[in-house]
Structure 1
Amino acid sequence: MDPPGLIRFRTGDLPRAHRLAAWEEHNARSLLGLRARALDDRPFEGTELNLRLPRLGLARVSGSPHVVRRDPDQIARHPAEGIVVYFALAGEGRFRDREGTWVLHPGQALVCDADRPFRRGFPHGLTELVLTAPRTALRETAGRCAPAGPRVFGFRDGVGKALASAVTGALAGHGDWETLESTVLGLLAGLLGAPATDRLAAARAYIDAHLHEPELSASRIAAAAGYSERQLSRLFAESGQSVPQAVLAARLDAARSALTDRNRARTPIAELATRHGFASPAHFSRSYRARFGSSPLRDRARR
């Protein structure tokens, strides 16, 4: 079963003549207003998994060969008032705007102002992750509204990998939305070059996205964030925590948020412990009491 808030859309169940129009309508409603045109005579095939959060739009998109364009009419009818980030997972994509043309290969991402006209083409089809974020949230987090122009970056490691991992985790239903939004906006701030960005943003984002994995380790976190284990330990020590302490604190904070969520009031404590990477319910209860001075059951009853 899909996590709450997820929307699935596919063109395969629609008449051939209506598929591209339905694709445009869905994207305008759930992600970004675009014009679409198929590149061959085959029926267009498109699937999309969407998640709308208060400040972010997230999606995983797959489609057969086609082109899309965001023209002044679409911008006027469906203003984004923010940026869009495309993470190429499969298929080569071409992006063109008034500043030039960029070719995106799997493992590369592009960030751009969503309210400047552009055109994208996928001659062999595509699979990608998409993230949209408003200017207001970026201004608060990064001190900037949008990138000066399109920027391409890799997401095989470092901050890019942490950002893609956070988006993937959200679409899989991992983590709470408030934490996710803060994490993603902090990572975007890093990509946009905000001077005050926390250097640990990538590591913390990876931790938040993988809390449910009991085997989460300092070596895995360091590799994902682009640090050596020694560098990672030193950076966390400067913030007043060891890496294991940071992982435990993130797990406890996420578990407490889930514990007091009315929509998950019937979820057994043991299941919550497992979902947040604890070895056993007893370990979870001991750690919870040491951190918050109360038991999980008492906090659930109180709230």
Structure 2
Amino acid sequence: MLSTASVPDQDKVAYWNDAVSRTLVPMTVVPRGDGPFDGRIATDRLGYLQVCTMEADAERVSRTPALIARSSEALVAVGVQMSGTATFVQDGRRAEVGEGDLVVYDTTRPYSFDYPRRFATHVFQLPRRTLGVSDDDIRQVTGSAIGTGDGVGAMLLPFLAALASSTADGYPPAVANRLAGNVVDLFSTLIAERAHRGGTDTDARSHLMLRVLDHINRNLGDPDLSPEHIAREHRISVRYLHRLFEGEGTTVGQFVRRRRLEECRRELARRGRTAPTVSAVAQRWGFVNPAHFSRSFRAAYGVSPREWRDLRTARDGPGRSSAVVPAPGTAPENAADVRDTARQGADLPPSRG
């Protein structure tokens, strides 16, 4: 808790500017009244979510490009107006915020709040990367007041008010992180609901999923293609990325591995005068460890990469009959049986053991 109560009158404004800037983000606060200024701000943390409650006399708060340059992390904030009113401006839009309204703002772009009389507000700040929404969606929501009479806002108001009034120290770390995750999910849903009035949250997720899949397919050869890398490129949390793939019945890692194996399988079966080596194909599609690649390939298709290439070469040779091979992306029920069937189709002796 930081308060101007015990600060000399002549130092209150400077103290308050410093307190607000250190607690939230760098900004300029100008009192609207002539008398001694009074303000207090309390802050707490819930996992990666910062929760602040601010009560102060009439003031104007500004976040300028010069102040933004002093901040290292991109944050998104949600303000809950508990008492008093405010005029909020961001992205060229102006909103009149009344008691009980919510506002969403991006700390990486200029904004201002004008409080004409004493007020109280809760401010929830979280890293921009934890939200599974696009920059365009956030821009559509900023600069407007969100009512809490219905929709997601109606669910958010009592939850956020209760969360701000409780003490985070009372929660074990695992519970605090889970609560923070629930808040992020609610914020993401709120932004999607407001940004896609004509569509649904499912539409927004589907569009994001298509972009993620396209990114994966274009970067399969990068050995550093990990869930962390993918999430960072799309400015979402790893947790949210995993949630997207839950709806596909797979995990991020499984999908990347399956797509890499499919490309390796296709390239090893390619006809040509000079066939690429197995290790060269594996490295080209992001497999760093040859032994790991061979195990993964055999688990998926029932034969080793070298056997697969030899079988395909024999099958496509003059006078050869078509070999029976596993379907792409499926693991055979009996790997030995499938391998022997394939070898017989290629006029090769059955394997031993």
TM-score range, shorter chain: 0.5 to 0.7
State yes or no: 1:129 paired with 2:119.
no
Structure with a larger share of its residues in strand: 1
1:11-64 Cα offsets, whole Å, 9 max, x none, are 111112222222222222222221011111111111112113442111111110
Shift of 1:168: 2.8
Residue 87 of structure 1 and its aligned partner are, at CA, apart by: 1.0
Amino acid paired to 1:100: R
Q: CA deviation at 1:80?
A: 4.5
Question: How far has the Cα of 1:89 moved from its partner?
Answer: 1.2
The correspondence of residues 230-269 of structure 1 with structure 2, limited to 5 A, is: none
**Distance in 1 between residues matched to 2:133 and 2:85, nearest whole Å:** 33
CA drift at 1:67: 0.6
Q: Could you list the per-position Cα deviations for residues 144-201 of structure 1 after superposition, in whole angstroms to 9, with x for gaps in the alignment?
A: 356014132112454224333333333312753112111100101111117249xxxx
CA distance in 2, matches of 1:127, 1:45: 12
Counterpart pick for 2:76 among 83, 91, 94: 83
Q: Where does residue 138 of structure 2 map in the other structure?
A: 147
Query: How has the CA–CA distance of structure 1 residues 165 and 115 changed in structure 2, closer, same or farther, with 3 Å as cutoff?
Result: same
Decide whether the 8 Å contact of 2:4 with 2:16 is kept in 1: yes
Residues 50, 157 of structure 1: alpha-carbon distance in 2 compared, 3 angstrom cutoff: farther
Check whether the contact 1:166–1:180 (CA below 8 A) recurs between aligned residues. no
| Structure 2 residue 49 is the aligned partner of structure 1 residue 56 | yes
1-side partners of 2:184 and 2:41: how far apart?
Answer: 23
**C-alpha distance in 2, partners of 1:154/1:120?**
17
Secondary structure, counterpart of 2:41 in structure 1:
strand
Indicate conservation of the 8 Å contact 2:75/2:128, yes or no.
yes
Find out whether 1:70 has 2:63 as its counterpart.
Answer: yes
Q: CA RMSD in A?
A: 2.1
Structure 2 stretches of 5 or more lacking a match?
194-200, 204-353
Structure 1 residues 79 and 122: CA distance shift in structure 2, 3 A? farther
Matched residue SS, 2:192: coil
Q: Distance in 2 between matches of 1:77 and 1:18?
A: 24
Give the AA of the match of 2:116.
P
CA contact (8 A) 1:92 1:126 kept: yes
CA gap of 1:137–1:98, structure 2 versus 1, over 3 A, is closer
Whose relative contact order is higher, 1 or 2, with alpha carbons under 8 Å and at least 6 apart?
1
Percentage of pairs with the same residue: 22
Question: 1:278-297, aligned counterparts within 5 Å?
Answer: none
Q: Which residue of 1 aligns with 2:19?
A: 26
Gaps of 5+ in 1: 1-7, 198-303
Is 2:166 the counterpart of 1:160? no
Q: Residue 111 of structure 1 aligns with which residue?
A: 104
The SS at the match of 1:147 is helix
Number of equivalences:
187
| SS of residue matched to 2:16 | helix
Q: Distance in 1 between matches of 2:158 and 2:151?
A: 11
Pairing partner for 1:16 from 9, 12, 27: 9
Q: Which runs of structure 1 show a deviation greater than 4 angstroms over 4 or more consecutive aligned residues?
A: none
- 1:272-303 deviations in whole A, cap 9, x for unaligned? xxxxxxxxxxxxxxxxxxxxxxxxxxxxxxxx
Deviation per CA, 1:64-98: give whole Å up to 9, x if none.
01111001121111345021111111111011234
